[in-house]
Amino acid sequence: MAAATEEPAGGPAAGPAGGTTGGPVAGTYEIDTGRAELIPDGDNPDGWLLKLNGVQSSHVDLGDPLRLDFEYMRWIIALVRSRWPVPAGRLDEKLRALHLGGAACSMARYLVAAYPQSRNVVIEIDAKLADYVRSWFDLPRAPLLKIRVGEAREVIESLSDGSRELIIRDVFAGAFTPKPLTTAEFTAAARRVLAPGGMYIVNCGDSPALSTARREAATIGSVFRHTAIVADPAMLKGRRYGNIIIAGSDLPLGQSPSLPRELLAGAMPAQLWDDSAVRGFGRTAQVLMDEPKG
């Protein structure tokens, strides 16, 4: 994720009246949680980069929803496709997906395009940002893609048992995910909402110390029978700050023989760790727990 940048001359627009109706307009915009900056992609006339409070959050290609510029998003999709393949000519896979953290809805747009029968609900805490994104990017309409403004934990705890096949957590406050969305209690609530065979995937941002990723691995491993990790080798060796994708399920993960090859062939080659490696990685870490009440 990028560091904060200076805002464009003229200051931020105050709201939708700042020129967003009808498509994206470059600039900095006030939102409920700070500021959003919309930047044209200099290499792609249809591409736009969204920064939230100075941090790269999403990239959208208006002409191609199947293009994901962020490598960690491609890793998530590789895991999804390994569980729910979409062979040529078979586009009837029904997939109920819950996206915790919306930003520009890049992942939800991808799933609508790749799985036309999917139903995607995006949980976004920032109502102003949700309004901007709807206006800028002409998102697919409900029931294909619905944005629900709310707090991720409150939403998870309100949902019915077994009502989703896929939950993707990509929520950040600055460089890290808020602790209430990382604990064993929250993870157990996510597992309750998943249908049998469902998958819980989190985007964990961490420093070279990897202390957060180890605790998240231990926590997800304490709730789910099977786990997996995808990340680039430099990140897993603690050489830089970056993203680690951690997944949990009641079925084995990463069983497709083509998945490791696909991950290694990407622009940023990634490794797939199986359940044994993930549990070894988090073995000495404490499981994250809610703070005591009262």
Residue 10 pLDDT class (50, 70, 90 cuts): very low
Does residue 157 contact residue 185 with C-beta atoms inside 8 Å?
no
| Rounded (10°) angle between helices 184-193 and 211-223 | 50
- According to the model, what pLDDT value does residue 89 have? 58
> What's the rounded mean pLDDT across residues 156-165?
98
Residue 112 pLDDT class (50, 70, 90 cuts): very high
d(CA 24, CA 132): 9
- 9 pLDDT higher than 60: no
What mean pLDDT is reported for the chain? 91
- According to the model, what pLDDT value does residue 91 have? 65
- 263 pLDDT higher than 80: yes
Q: Which fold has domain 71-281?
A: Rossmann fold (3.40.50)
Domain boundaries, the chain: 16-61, 71-281
- According to the model, what pLDDT value does residue 173 have? 87
Residue 90 pLDDT class (50, 70, 90 cuts): low
Burial class (CB in 10 A: 0-12, 13-18, 19+), 133: buried
- According to the model, what pLDDT value does residue 88 have? 57
Tell me the whole-structure pTM to 2 decimals.
Answer: 0.92
What single letter denotes the amino acid at residue 66?
Answer: L
> What's the rounded mean pLDDT across residues 167-196?
95
The region of weakest confidence among 8-22, 34-48, 98-112, 196-210 is 8-22
- 5 pLDDT higher than 60: no
- 12 pLDDT higher than 80: no
